[in-house]
Amino acid sequence: MPEMVRFIRYPGGKQRILEYILPYLPSRNLIKGKYIEPFVGGGAVFFAVNPECALLSDINKELIDLYRGIRLNPSKVWEIYESFPQTKKGYYEIRALRVGNKNLIYRAARTLYLNRTCFKGMWRYNSKGEFNIGYGGQDRRWVLSKETLNEVGYRLKLASLKCCDFQKVIDASNEEDFIFIDPPYRPGELGIDNAHYVFNSFGYKDHLRLATALVRASDRGVRWVMTASCHPEILSLFNKYMVKHLPKGIGGPPGRLVTDNPKEVLIYNLNSAHLGNTSPPSFASRSATFLGISETTSRIPSVKRYTLENSSSTSAGENLWSSPAFLSSFSSLQ
């Protein structure tokens, strides 16, 4: 089975910064319940973890239907995908199609075609819900192979797929589940707000709903890791959890990796049962000690930020959840 699976282009996708994210995620054998993604997007982290049981969700119905179609019959999706035109004129004809009366397989193939041939792999809909990205060429289309699509379909057999709001998915999680959360965000900013496009608005109220849902999940003992903007108001919603500033980010112009102050962070709860409001004050300092974490104070007094320094505790090749330091320290807190 290939190490990495990549089949769609997705704005904000984490494919190119997986090396900084995966050490903070449990490996598949440590996830006793479900692996859950309420904002699955391009699925880069899901395919990298390759869990034995998953729940993948997104509010974008065309995206979820793409996954459903490939899971159902990847070979047939490929057959239709391969038959679509290879010209700019043909692209706009396929884009203009009304596909409400088409079957799932056809709709999935069309979505995949538009994604692989549109400009920069952008994913945007107008206020009528119509995909409206211009033509980008055929070069990226044939990077994808039938074998890769079959592999995608094989892995999706182990996943449930839902099109719904993130809160429903998070609220349904249980103690043995693990959640990876990658909400829409613009690095360094409080939110994304563009009323002219659907699926392109996620403001402070949404972040607040998300934070509240994750607190409830933490109270149930659910483990989670989230990517987010480093805006102080967002960080203030998670001031009792751990924060790791990412050295590289994907929030710049499409197709460009940001290496200079990417303004993106990982937020995670370790074992959430010990990070709630009833936790003894000493826990934060004890966990910081065993993870090589130093506590710093933000310019906003109400926000506490925890940043990981260069430490052998979480090197690129070591998984945080299975590291001897985490396991020994966690067992001592039981």
Interval 117-145: pLDDT, tens: 999 888 888 878 788 899 999 999 999 99
Give me the residues paired with residue 224 across strands: 179
Highest mean pLDDT among 106-110, 185-189, 309-313: 106-110
What percentage of the chain carries pLDDT values higher than 90?
Answer: 55
Q: What is the pLDDT of residues 246-298, one digit of tens each?
A: 987 776 555 556 666 678 999 999 653 333 333 322 223 323 322 233 333 23
Torsion of CA 14, 18, 22, 24, to 10 degrees: -70
CATH architecture of 64-155: Orthogonal Bundle (1.10)
Q: How many CB atoms lie within 10 A of CB 77?
A: 29
Give the residue carrying structure tokens 């035109």: 85
Q: Do 106 and 137 meet the contact criterion of CB atoms below 8 Å apart?
A: no
Cβ neighbourhood burial of 288 (10 Å; 0-12, 13-18, 19+): middle
Highest mean pLDDT among 97-101, 169-173, 190-194: 169-173
Q: Do 74 and 153 meet the contact criterion of CB atoms below 8 Å apart?
A: yes
| The model scores a pTM over 0.85 | no
Alpha-carbon span 257 to 252, nearest angstrom: 7
- Three-state DSSP at 268 gives strand
CA distances in angstroms from 230 to 44, 56, 245, 271, listed in the order given: 22, 25, 8, 22
Among the residue ranges 14-28, 43-57, 89-103, the one predicted with the least confidence is 14-28
Classify strands 125-126 and 159-163 as parallel, antiparallel or unpaired: unpaired
Give me the residues paired with residue 125 across strands: 131, 198
Alpha-carbon span 76 to 106, nearest angstrom: 9
* CATH class of domain segment(s) 15-59+164-332: alpha beta
Domain ranges of the chain: 15-59+164-332, 64-155
Q: What is the pLDDT of residues 42-58, one digit of tens each?
A: 999 999 999 999 999 99
pLDDT for 252: 58
Alpha-carbon span 149 to 145, nearest angstrom: 6
Would you state the structure tokens that stand for residue 91, as one six-digit string?
Answer: 């692209």
pLDDT band at residue 104 using 50, 70 and 90 as cut-offs: very high
Q: Do 78 and 209 meet the contact criterion of CB atoms below 8 Å apart?
A: no
Alpha-carbon span 271 to 177, nearest angstrom: 12
Q: Is the pLDDT of residue 305 over 70?
A: no
